[in-house]
């Protein structure tokens, strides 16, 4: 890969081609519980290189505005969330959820001064326990997102987030890449409470040379990984990717399905969102406890969403557990196994040194679609795929099919999210 292509894909500040692409989508930015009630403390957020403050006002409305007061640049993190506005702690300038300044105490109200002051702000939308942001031009705002995990009943879904100390793309490429499961996560497949006990795991561990087939979907890709099953049949694990950064992990038996959003904070940090949901039943108490304890795709984090296992402590690598085969890399936990390796590539992976193979086809095609869409947007203003809620209603599937049956045909309707219809999973 050429250095300029890598730059194009990895840089997402305002004004960059990929930054503009990201600014055409609704992206997850907060967990609803971070702003639990009207007039609760505001929080700092960083997304696509921009520093902002999110708050919930007296009427419960959500606001996301520039972190710094328009007056003399003080951080509104120290401000007061009161009476339908965020008040700067320095001289009491007050802003509503749209960033509009509604009071400058030192100026006469009749002067109309405060109406001229407006902070940058972006619309938020709350759905499925997640607060979503749209950071693009107002007239191009897409419909609200309808990813299935965020539309099922609250009892059926669980979402967490963790910061990751590397560029978003190498993180997302780990989410697309299902070939590493047989290696990196081999120790966890039969022990993690949210993964174990599936026949699919035996196929997964039994055939370490999966064959990949990738087909385009309306909003991105379906990546099929084929492994040998009994009687000459094939075990297919199908991983959907929806532009720009949504991936799902194929399910295991009746376990909840999971997946991720990989959202750039800045070019060297991203927020990894992890969700688990079941399309037709509530999560059990044991499942929910496991998720909260950092099992499955989830991770234990500190109050800033930094994992307790992190690069400063070498992810608590345990060489004895690695030697004994309990973990493949010595790092405990599926989520941290991924994160540790992705961070180990450096802040921004140097893709000029890669050597890609056929199992990387999903990654290759995703990069091509992203580059193409970013260029089409920059050159022609063409709106990218993945904005339409129909594109977002996908599922990952694990299925055994006869030889000769193309996976997309064999999986058929199971690849679409349909309310009240159970997942297809082995």
- Enumerate binding residues for a copy of itself (CB under 8 A): 41, 68, 70-75, 77-80, 89-92, 104-108, 113, 117, 170, 173, 179-180, 182-184, 208-210, 317, 319, 322, 328-331, 337, 340-342, 344-346, 349-351, 353-360
What tokens appear for 135 in the block? 């950071």
- CA-CA distance, 62 to 30, in Å (whole number)? 11
**Residue 126 or residue 207: which is nearer to a copy of itself going by CB?**
207
Which C-beta is closer to a copy of itself: that of 100 or that of 141? 100
Strand partners, 66: 52
User: Smallest distance from the beta carbon of 241 to a copy of itself, in angstroms?
Assistant: 17
Asked if 18 and 6 count as a contact pair (C-beta separation under 8 A), the reply is no
In the complex, the smallest distance separating the C-beta of residue 410 from a copy of itself, rounded to whole angstroms, is: 22
Q: Are 371 and 215 in contact (CB under 8 A)?
A: no
What is the Cα–Cα distance from 201 to 191, expressed in whole angstroms?
A: 11
Select 59 or 91, whichever has its Cβ closest to a copy of itself: 91
| Min CB(67)–a copy of itself separation in Å | 9
In sequence order, what are the residues at sequence separation of 6 or more whose Cβ sits closer than 8 angstroms to the Cβ of residue 62? 35, 54, 55, 56, 97, 124, 126, 131
**Spatial separation of the C-alpha atoms in residues 260 and 274, rounded to whole Å:** 5
Select 42 or 151, whichever has its Cβ closest to a copy of itself: 42
CB nearer a copy of itself, residue 104 or residue 245: 104
DSSP assigned state of 140: G
| Closest-CA residue to 5 (of 20, 22, 23, 17) | 17
Residue with tokens 């075990």: 235
Residue number, 317 or 400, with CB nearest to a copy of itself? 317
Q: Is residue 27 within 8 Å of 172, Cβ to Cβ?
A: no
Q: How far is the CB of 182 from a copy of itself (least distance, A)?
A: 8
With CA atoms as reference, report the closest residue to 273 among 28, 107, 4: 28
State in angstroms the smallest separation of the CB of 175 from a copy of itself: 13
Q: How far is the CB of 12 from a copy of itself (least distance, A)?
A: 20
Instruction: Enumerate residues 6+ apart whose C-beta is below 8 A from 73.
Output: none
| CA gap 141, 382 in Å, rounded | 14
CB of 43 to a copy of itself, least distance (A): 11
Supply the minimum distance, in Å, between the C-beta of residue 74 and a copy of itself. Answer: 5
Q: Which of 86, 87, 88 is nearest to 97 (CA)?
A: 86
Q: Closest distance between a copy of itself and the C-beta of residue 388, in Å?
A: 31
The secondary element (H helix, E strand) that includes residue 55 is strand 50-56
What is the maximum alpha-carbon separation in the chain?
83
Nearer to a copy of itself, 157 or 179 (CB): 179
Closest CA to 398 of 418, 416, 423: 423
Closer to a copy of itself at the Cβ: 40 or 419? 40
Name the residue nearer to a copy of itself (CB basis): 355 or 420.
355
Locate 264 and state its tokens: 């750039």
- Candidates 122, 116, 100, 115; CA nearest to 54 is 122
Q: Which is nearer to a copy of itself, 187 or 386 (CB)?
A: 187
Q: Give min distance, CB of 1 to a copy of itself, in A.
A: 11
Q: Which of 261, 85, 27 is nearest to 164 (CA)?
A: 261
């Amino acid at each position: 890969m050429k250095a300029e292509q890598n730059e194009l894909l990895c840089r997402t500040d305002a004004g960059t081609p990929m930054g503009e692409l990201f600014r055409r989508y609704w992206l997850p930015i907060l967990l609803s519980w971070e702003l639990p009630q009207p007039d609760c403390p505001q929080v700092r957020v960083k997304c696509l290189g921009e520093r902002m403050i999110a708050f919930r006002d007296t009427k419960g409305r959500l606001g996301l505005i520039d972190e710094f007061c328009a007056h003399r640049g003080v951080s509104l993190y120290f401000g007061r969330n009161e009476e339908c506005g965020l008040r700067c702690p320095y001289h009491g300038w007050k802003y509503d959820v749209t960033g509009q300044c509604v009071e400058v105490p030192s100026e006469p109200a009749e002067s109309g001064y405060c109406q001229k002051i407006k902070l940058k702000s972006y619309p938020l939308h709350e759905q499925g326990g997640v607060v979503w942001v749209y950071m693009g031009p107002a007239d191009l705002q897409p419909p609200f997102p309808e990813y299935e995990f965020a539309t099922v009943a609250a009892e059926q879904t669980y979402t967490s987030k963790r910061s990751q100390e590397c560029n978003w793309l190498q993180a997302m490429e780990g989410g697309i890449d299902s070939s590493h499961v047989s290696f990196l996560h081999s120790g966890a497949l039969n022990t993690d409470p949210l993964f174990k006990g599936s026949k699919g795991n035996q196929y997964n561990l039994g055939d370490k040379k999966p064959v990949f087939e990738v087909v385009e979907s309306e909003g991105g890709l379906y990546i099929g990984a084929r492994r040998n099953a009994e009687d000459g049949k094939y075990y297919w694990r199908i991983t959907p990717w929806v532009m720009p950064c949504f991936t799902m992990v194929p399910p295991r038996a009746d376990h909840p399905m999971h997946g991720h959003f990989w959202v750039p904070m800045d070019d060297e940090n991203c927020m990894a969102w992890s969700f688990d949901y079941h399309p037709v039943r509530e999560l059990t108490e044991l499942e929910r406890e496991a998720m909260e304890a950092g099992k499955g795709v989830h991770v234990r984090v500190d109050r800033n969403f930094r994992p307790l296992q992190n690069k400063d402590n070498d992810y608590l690598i345990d060489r004895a557990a690695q030697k004994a085969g309990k973990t493949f890399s010595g790092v405990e936990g599926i989520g941290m196994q991924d994160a540790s390796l992705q961070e180990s590539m450096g802040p921004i992976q140097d893709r000029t040194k890669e050597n890609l193979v056929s199992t990387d086809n999903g990654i290759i095609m995703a990069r091509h679609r992203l580059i193409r869409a970013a260029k089409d947007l920059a050159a022609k203003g063409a709106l990218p795929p993945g904005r339409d809620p129909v594109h977002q209603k996908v599922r990952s599937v694990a299925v055994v099919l006869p030889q000769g049956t193309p996976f997309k045909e064999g999986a058929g309707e199971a690849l679409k999210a349909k309310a009240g219809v159970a997942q297809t999973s082995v």
